[in-house]
């Protein structure tokens, strides 16, 4: 057991007669590690992008609510009447009449 540990620490398994299979495994493990690290970085980038998009959605929703409230205030009859009175237009004091067209 002690001899095996010393061989591993000295790196004798890399220069022995059957070292080719060890090198293949080390190369495979290294490539696999690089792929896993790359995948992890890509996942982190996506998480950060989702976080930024979530913040933007919250800001846009807040802006939408503010603009909708302003539009509702502008559509009120009293507000429209006030804006048109500045231009010289006033609401009619005579009630509207229904016109009936009779075709022959």
- 32-43 residue pLDDT tens: 999 999 999 999
CA dist., res. 27 & res. 80, Å (int):
77
In a domain, residue 90? The reply is no
What is the CA 62 to chain-centroid distance, rounded? 16
Containing structural domain, residue 44: 2-85
In a domain, residue 41? The reply is yes
Domain count, the chain: 1
In a domain, residue 49? The reply is yes
In a domain, residue 91? The reply is no
In a domain, residue 73? The reply is yes
In a domain, residue 104? The reply is no
| pLDDT tens column, 44-94 | 999 999 999 999 999 999 999 999 999 999 888 888 888 888 888 888 889
pLDDT recorded at residue 71: 93
CA dist., res. 100 & res. 84, Å (int):
30
């Amino acid at each position: 057991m002690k001899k095996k540990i010393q061989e591993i620490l000295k790196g004798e398994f890399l220069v022995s007669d059957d070292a080719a299979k060890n090198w293949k495994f080390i190369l495979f493990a290294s490539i696999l590690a690089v792929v896993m690290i790359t995948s992890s970085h890509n996942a982190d980038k996506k998480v950060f992008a989702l976080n930024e998009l979530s913040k933007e959605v919250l800001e846009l929703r807040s802006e939408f609510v503010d603009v909708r409230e302003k539009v509702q205030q502008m559509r009120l009859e009293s507000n429209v009447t006030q804006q048109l009175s500045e231009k010289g237009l006033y609401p009619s004091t005579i009630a509207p009449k229904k016109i009936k067209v009779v075709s022959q």
